[in-house]
A and B are shown apart, each in its own frame.
Chain A
């Protein structure tokens, strides 16, 4: 006997459009941060350092510090782009940058510190880079710590009004811009999320519309099909040209009622659609008082809709002719299914013409009529 058909492979989960969009946007933001910070270190801090070489107490220390900051930026960029940034790694790199920046400030000529300190601004940008995925307040804390450390180094020889004013100017120019950029990045995220949500909603609406169109199409096809046979019958009954007392008219009505029930059953999600639809077809005969017994044997293979349609059309033709009992059997075979009906039908049923791929056979023994349909998977 045939085995149950293998279950269909589950489709791979499709990411929601909003998630795709948000991920793409976050990626662009990361790359922009890396480019900006690396660019500042190379094109901003680098030339500043080169311009003042010779005026530092130790040029080698300044160059080594610049290299160390470059390494921190490289490490921070890799972590960010690989999605490995965490609170621990972020703050470890930020702390290293803060320490180097403070040491650089301390190793600058004391009277020209604000002019020669290339590291202050760079360290702030490192903070933006390594704390990009952290809450904005953490960057605020970092920039404050850095400002305080630099201010402490600046004022170790005493407080002068001019140096304080210059410090505030530089602070506004670096930390202010860094914070503003971080705020803007957070703010840009909001419209991106809105755009993503809108895309999701649109996709949902499109999917719902497609399903509705398919359902409407299927309903229309069923209605057209029913109309072709049921409408003339109903018109005949309404205009009086068909006599409700005529057994032929009664049988035609029973056929249409069974077909209607079958159409309704076709939309059901039943584990065994063929048997389910045969039950629907039997319903009309049972209402007439005919005992219908439906038996299945072995595993029934899946029969496509057109196969079920041809088989149930045959079943309806037999069922409407049965006097008092019908035995319907559905037998699964190695290569298909055999549906048979044994009924007591004195009148010869008007069997519908079956498609070539459905082998139909029948035999009459007095009152007893046997009709069999064989459908093969091949």
Chain B
């Protein structure tokens, strides 16, 4: 990650803003610079003014999940940052075109990683995302291989990727590939979005998936989604 990354933050709680900035400044390599902090999406600068948008999904007590589609369509690379961890919401936000979903509980460990991954159009799977993918009840969900599923499960359970590698008797790099492949398969789902295209293109470039593995976009928006527990 030699390229320096800029980030805009949309967040209405000062304490959370302080937290995000302190995590970013604690990064020993200082890879991220915060260029804008706003409490509402109306105040945002143009889509590519910052590489990545850290977006709180609840602003002023109102859920703005619906705005993710519009923002992703205008070209923002979004890392959703939310206290909500319901799998259905996470899948919705990913379908809408967000790059990654980081719950507030896992911000310290995964927010920086998610922002850097989004800036380079590479996948990032947090544990809350892994849980949502494992529990995806939709009939049109992407088919995951047994190994991808096992890697996701162990990652969700809280193992480090090195531990997952030891457990599965594979290299840590292969573990990353399994988990990232599962995420990339989700980029072919839902509405088309420039961010998803970029993610897929980078995945093909990186050899994570083959072009013929990219199925055509299937729209799930019109299908009823069974409720999760």
Binding site for B on A (CB under 8 A): 1, 4, 293, 295-300, 327, 329, 331-332, 338, 340, 342, 363, 365, 368, 370, 372
Contact = CB atoms under 8 A, between A and B. Distances in A.
Contact of B157 (A1, A4, A300, A372): A372
B158 A1 contact: no
Contact of B163 (A293, A331, A332, A370): A370
B157 A365 contact: no
B5 to A, nearest CB: 29
B163 A363 contact: yes
B134 interface: yes
Is chain B's interface secondary structure helix, strand, loop, or mixed overall?
Answer: helix
B158 A327 contact: yes
A342 B160 CA distance: 10
Nearest to A372: B157
Given A327-B157, A329-B157, A297 B87 contact: yes
Contact of B131 (A297, A340, A342, A365): A297
A363 B166 contact: yes
A309 B158 CA distance: 23
Given A327-B157, A329-B158, A331-B156, 15 more contacts: A1-B135, A296-B229, A297-B134, A298-B134, A298-B135, A298-B137, A298-B228, A329-B156, A331-B153, A342-B158, A363-B167, A365-B160, A370-B158, A370-B163, A372-B157
Contacts of B228: 298-299
A297 B135 contact: yes
A300 B134 CA distance: 13
Nearest to B167: A363
Interface residues of B, number: 20
B67 interface: no
A296 B157 CA distance: 10
B159 A370 contact: yes
Return the 9 tightest CB-CB contacts between A and B, nearest first: A342-B158, A327-B158, A298-B135, A340-B157, A297-B131, A365-B163, A297-B135, A329-B157, A299-B229
Most interface-central of A4, A297, A298, A332 (chain B CB within 10 A): A297
Nearest to A4: B229
Contacts of B131: 295, 297
Interface in B138-175: 153-154, 156-160, 162-163, 166-167
B50 to A, nearest CB: 32
B159 A331 contact: no
A340 B135 contact: no
Nearest to A326: B158
A275 B78 CA distance: 33
Contact of B162 (A293, A331, A365, A372): A365
Contacts of A298: 134-135, 137, 228-229
Interface string B166-199: 1100000000000000000000000000000000
16 contacts: A1-B135, A296-B229, A297-B87, A297-B135, A297-B156, A299-B135, A327-B157, A331-B134, A331-B135, A332-B135, A338-B153, A363-B163, A363-B166, A368-B159, A370-B163, A372-B157
Given A331-B153, A340-B157, A293 B105 contact: yes
